[in-house]
């Protein structure tokens, strides 16, 4: 059993949940049993925002895995990928998805299911304009030195327009600075994507890309990103 002692001379507020209501005041030096550890991390995003995130929603990356390059050797290696690391393409057909069929990696389906739920709640339709991006020679050239990291290359991103009450909201209308001008359904949908623990809305990127939604796959798991990309390249070459 883990124990802890109250430090401040003046005592310490006991709350019903993190940042919640005060229940009582614990005395200085009082011994407590730790029944659960809730961790927050102070973090900085790639675009420079600093703040706190709940530890349940981030996965720590061991330092050795942080490596921006997929080497030619890795690309050429006939490595034996575990089935879970394989890029496996599927067509996502959510009830609220229209436009081009979203061709994505199987592992991205749970995220798209959530996008579909948000769309339903907000009464919007998702008009997909692109999903998995072609790997051409130019892309491969870019992969060997610093990887492009785009979720589109491993089927973990979609580009979309939002359709609401028969009107299509495109890249220009969905701009972050324009959000407050949009109907509730559209702005709430974007808010749902922003609030999702995994999904990212491209409108929040340094270089705004408001039609883009991904699951931050590269930064969440660089080894898996490489494995998927490698697997995809192998499938294309097969």
Binding site for Zn ion (CB under 5 A): 159, 212
User: Backbone phi, then psi, for 71, in 5-degree steps?
Assistant: -75, 160
- Measured from the CB atom, the residue of 45 and 130 that comes closer to Zn ion is 130
* Chain position carrying tokens 């949940």: 17
Token readout for 61 is: 């990356």
Residue 238 beta carbon to Zn ion: minimum distance, rounded to whole angstroms: 27
3-state secondary structure 128-183: EEECCCCCCHHHHHHHCCCCCCCHHHHCCEEEEEEEECCEEECCCCCCHHHHHHCC
- Measured from the CB atom, the residue of 85 and 128 that comes closer to Zn ion is 128
Token readout for 13 is: 């507020």
- Measured from the CB atom, the residue of 212 and 228 that comes closer to Zn ion is 212
Residue 9 beta carbon to Zn ion: minimum distance, rounded to whole angstroms: 54
Residue 159 beta carbon to Zn ion: minimum distance, rounded to whole angstroms: 4
Rama region for 76: left / alpha / beta (φ>0; ψ in -120 to 50; rest):
alpha
- Measured from the CB atom, the residue of 29 and 148 that comes closer to Zn ion is 148
Residue 152 beta carbon to Zn ion: minimum distance, rounded to whole angstroms: 6
Q: Which residue is nearest to Zn ion (CB)?
A: 212
């Amino acid at each position: 059993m883990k124990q802890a002692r109250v430090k401040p001379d003046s005592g310490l507020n006991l709350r019903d949940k993190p940042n919640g209501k005060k229940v009582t005041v614990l005395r200085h030096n009082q011994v407590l049993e730790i029944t659960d550890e809730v961790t927050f991390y102070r973090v900085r995003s790639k675009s420079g925002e600093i703040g706190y995130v709940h530890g349940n929603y981030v996965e720590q990356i061991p330092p050795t895995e942080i490596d921006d390059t997929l080497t030619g050797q890795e690309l050429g290696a006939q490595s034996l990928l575990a089935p879970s690391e394989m890029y496996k393409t599927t067509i996502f057909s959510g009830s609220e998805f229209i436009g081009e069929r979203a061709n994505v990696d199987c592992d991205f389906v749970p995220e798209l299911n959530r996008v579909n739920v948000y769309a339903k709640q907000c009464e919007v339709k998702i008009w997909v304009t692109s999903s998995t991006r072609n790997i051409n020679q130019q892309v491969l050239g870019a992969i060997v030195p610093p990887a492009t990291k785009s979720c589109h290359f491993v089927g973990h991103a979609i580009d979309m327009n939002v359709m609401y009450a028969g009107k299509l909201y495109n890249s220009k209308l969905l701009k972050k600075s324009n959000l407050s001008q949009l109907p509730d359904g559209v702005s709430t949908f974007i808010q749902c994507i922003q609030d999702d623990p995994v999904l990212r809305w491209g409108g929040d990127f340094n270089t705004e890309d408001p039609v883009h939604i991904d699951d931050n796959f590269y930064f969440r798991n660089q080894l898996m990103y490489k494995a998927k990309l490698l697997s995809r390249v192998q499938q294309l070459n097969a």
